[in-house]
């Protein structure tokens, strides 16, 4: 496991945990989102009707911006005003 940049310890722990599980389909990716002066971490889930979760920098679950049965998430995300700057920080490249 290697992240492309420094991330909070709690995000590193989530990545280590995912790395010990079976490879998901599609493989997990972890993104850093910068928006409205805040940093979030977006972690994809495996296939089909599962939420993809957004976490704060202390790994508190903020919302699910997408995924789920409708593909539109859980409807609980903040209304972001600015452009979201997304940076890939890790992807599970196991086969």
Per-residue pLDDT of the chain (95 residues; tens, 9 = 90+): 556 568 999 999 999 999 999 999 999 999 999 999 999 999 999 888 999 999 998 999 999 999 999 999 999 999 999 999 999 999 999 98
pLDDT value at position 3? Answer: 61
pTM of the model: 0.91
What pLDDT score does 73 carry?
96
Phi/psi-derived region of residue 69, left when phi > 0, alpha when psi is between -120 and 50, beta in every other case: alpha
Per-residue pLDDT, 62: 98
Helix extents (H) in 21-88: none
- pLDDT score, position 22: 94
Alpha-carbon gap, residue 44 to 31, rounded angstroms: 9
Residue 25 near residue 44 (C-beta atoms within 8 A): no
76: phi then psi, degrees, rounded to nearest 5: -110, 10
């Amino acid at each position: 496991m290697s992240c492309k940049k420094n991330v909070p310890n709690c995000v590193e722990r989530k990545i280590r945990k995912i790395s010990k599980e079976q490879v998901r389909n599609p493989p997990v990716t972890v993104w850093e989102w910068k928006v409205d002066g805040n940093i979030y971490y977006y972690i994809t889930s495996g296939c089909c009707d599962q939420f993809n979760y957004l976490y704060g920098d202390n790994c508190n679950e903020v919302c699910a911006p997408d995924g789920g049965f409708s593909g539109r998430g859980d409807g609980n995300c903040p209304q972001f005003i600015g452009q979201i700057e997304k940076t890939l920080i890790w992807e599970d490249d196991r086969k």
